Structure 1
Amino acid sequence: MNSPVNTGAPVIALRNLARSFEQGGVRIDVLRGVNLEIGQGEIVALLGPSGSGKSTLLQAVGLLEGGFSGQIELAGTQAGELNAADRTTLRREHLGFVYQFHHLLPDFNARENVVLPQLLLDVPRKDAEIRAEELLGALGLEHRFDHRPSQLSGGEQQRVAVARALANKPQLVLADEPTGNLDEKTADRVLDEFLDLVRGQGSSALVATHNERMAARMDRVVRLHEGRIS
């Protein structure tokens, strides 16, 4: 396990974060006052069984939906005080996402899937293409730039998803069971590549998993239990 790099203000700080749902007239408290800070360059595993609320917590941190109480401070900005457009801008500028299923755009090739998020931040197309090819090359996909997702293996698709998440050099990468849909050998390789790239560009990461072995390779492990972090 590597020692965390934790200097300056945290990249993300959660204060008393809570989320409840109504189901069949019954109130279900998924998050019950989560407090968590992640430092600059720190990779944190969010460990918990299926149904423990890991994905709900990542949706909150990712500013993907409302209905939460408490505070989310991302890159020094109180996200709860922003309107929808400003939250979208904050998310695009500071966050990257990797999911269990790659969610690549099927009509675009690997290079284009990594270029597109950069264009949303007005990166010149040529620079975006260079960045995409650098990332895909680092992930062993030098000969797959022009292949669409349907022409790639599951591991290759997930590598493209990793490259897409890192394309804009986000301060924080959110990964939800990023290798959960891969066989163990491929999962280990993709995780190694993901961690190397995140550390190499100095980003932080919050990686949700139920896999103890995977979690042990992060800088720090936190556990989500009964709606709280321990």
Structure 2
Amino acid sequence: MNVQEPHVGAERGAPVVRIEKLTRSFEQGGVTIDVLRGVDLVIRPGEIVALLGPSGSGKSTMLQAIGLLEGGFGGHIEIAGINASKLGKDERAWVRRDHIGFVYQFHHLLPDFNAIENVVLPQLITGKPREECEERARELLGALGLGQRLEHRPSKLSGGEQQRVAVARALANRPRLVLADEPTGNLDEATADKVFDQFLRLVRGQGSAALVATHNERLAQGMDRVVRLHDGVLQ
């Protein structure tokens, strides 16, 4: 088995992610399409990995598998030492809540809640006291340059500001793993660079591992390691 191992300088703790022989197929018009054909990957604590590949190569499908967002996958998926391959729906939700943060290309903020409330809510779900949740939200949003925008709803924020709130929300519960799917794909280049630099700084600062799907070679070079998805396997 050709498991993609981290570079020599990576932290050598127990893996945050281990997937082995991951497969996913779809039926379309009576034809079977093999999107993932046996993907192997290990990501260790604190390591930020770029997942490169053209549109349609299966990057988002792979993130959905690792994020335990849907079924239908074959192979072994282990998150933070938990064998997630055979977990039920409720158990998968628990692993996502406690161990994984998500950042998408579109921010998916709750439109009726302001910036700080969008970052507080995922923390409240874990049972933390509101005061502690608000303190954490202010800390993250301040670090992202949004200290003066806490009370603004998403419709009153720019695209870059919306995506910064989404980053804060993903990191609010200090996840072991952050999954990001083209996290700056909807932003202009200058704004994308700034948001992405802030994202990397915060992820590194709290010691999370991250897998970032992108088609941007330049952004990928700022991460610890690059893997490429081609023809359903990693290279």
Number of matched pairs: 229
Q: Does 1:75 align with 2:83?
A: no
Give the TM-score, by structure 1 length. 0.98
Query: Out of 129, 132, 147, which is 1:127 matched to?
Result: 132
Aligned AA (1:141): L
1:81 Cα shift? 2.4
Q: Name the counterpart of 2:19.
A: 14
Instruction: Check conservation: 1:4, 1:42, Cα contact below 8 A.
Output: no
What residue is the counterpart of 2:197 in the other structure?
Answer: 192
Residue from 102, 110, 124 that aligns with 2:107: 102
1:35 correspondence with 2:45: no
Cα distance in 1, alignment partners of residues 50 and 216 from structure 2: 10
Aligned partners of 1:4 and 1:41 also within 8 Å: no
CA distance in 2, matches of 1:206, 1:33: 18
- Unaligned runs of 5+ residues in structure 2 are 1-6
Distance 2:218 2:201 in 1: 17
Residue 7 (structure 1) shift = 1.9
Superposed, 1:39-188 pairs within 5 Å as 39-188=44-193
Q: How much does 1:60 deviate?
A: 0.2
**Structure 1 gap segments, 5+ residues each:** none
The Cα RMSD (Å) is 1.0
- What's the CA shift for 1:3? 7.9
Q: Is structure 2 residue 206 aligned with structure 1 residue 201?
A: yes
Runs of 4+ in 1 over 6 A off after TM superposition: none
- Structure 1's 63 and 13: CA in aligned 2 closer, same or farther, altered over 3 A? same
Q: Tell me the CA shift for residue 6 of structure 1.
A: 2.1
**1:207-230 residue CA offsets vs partner (Å, 9 max, x unmatched):** 000010011110000000000001
1:24 to 10, 26, 29: 29
SS at match of 1:16: strand
Identity fraction in percent: 72
Which whole-Å deviations, capped at 9, do the CAs of 1:152-176 have from their partners, x for residues lacking one? 0000000000000000000000000
What SS is found at the alignment partner of 1:81? coil
Q: Aligned partner of 1:41: which letter?
A: G
Counterpart for residue 3 of structure 2: none
